[in-house]
Amino acid sequence: MCGRVFVKSTISDMVLRFEFAHPGEVDRLSNRFPVWNGRPADVYPIIIREELSTSMAGFVSAKWGLVPGWARDGGGRPPPVNARCETIATNGMFRKAYASRRCLVPVDGYFEWQKLDTSGKKKQPYAIAMKSGEPFAMAGIWEEYADNVTGELIRTFAIATCEPNDLMATIRDRMPVILAPEDYMRWLGPELDPRNLLKPYPSDLMTIWPIAYVGTRNRPDIIDEIGIGPSDLFDL
């Protein structure tokens, strides 16, 4: 799964990195980024295809946690932040968005926790990123629903997940679907079922390192690497 991310790039840096996408009004998020401990329900810049009939893509803002357009007032329960690739095309919560509202979720990295005992209480957190240090894009789907009171359209998204690559399998049994740059526009495009993109990203292009603690902190040292020993294990 993928339930926490970090975006150490500024909004301006992200727009430059993904220069094929129009910046739109995403600069309104400038005061929120960088973010070192991004959580569900927060608002992020994502990239969507502006119209299915064109090849234009653009940045927009969206809340993490998918709420279908037919849901009333946000659905009434915590929305899913991930969509399993095995069922994304058939699950009633995801299938329409997968067929026509796919998005890119640009980040600099994400967090995962390795269970260290059968109870699941002892866990070691890790940060995961690209070896190059560059931002990358996760495969996502998006929806809009109308606020029950104001009628405002609220955009939401979820991140697709798949089986882990060899690197991630050492700590977890799932990972987000990470897309190669040459596949960005295909993922955003009109193809109904780009299923062969829903696969583990190559291990040799990624890096992973242990960190001390995630919690609710939001500061740069949250992704500092630590040595692993008995005193570094936390009840999370």
Hey, which residues are catalytic here?
A: 2, 112
Torsion angle defined by CA atoms of residues 179, 183, 187 and 193, in that order, rounded to the nearest 10 degrees: -100
Q: How far apart are CA 51 and CA 57, in angstroms?
A: 8
Q: How far is CA 108 from the centre of its chain?
A: 10
Nearest Cα neighbor of 8 from 219, 225, 232 is 219
Which contacts (CB < 8 Å, 24+ apart) does range 84-92 have?
Answer: 84/160, 84/161, 84/162, 85/160, 85/161, 85/162, 85/177, 85/198, 88/141, 88/160, 88/198, 89/193, 89/195
Nearest Cα neighbor of 140 from 63, 25, 32, 56 is 63
Tell how strand 136-146 and strand 153-162 pair up. antiparallel
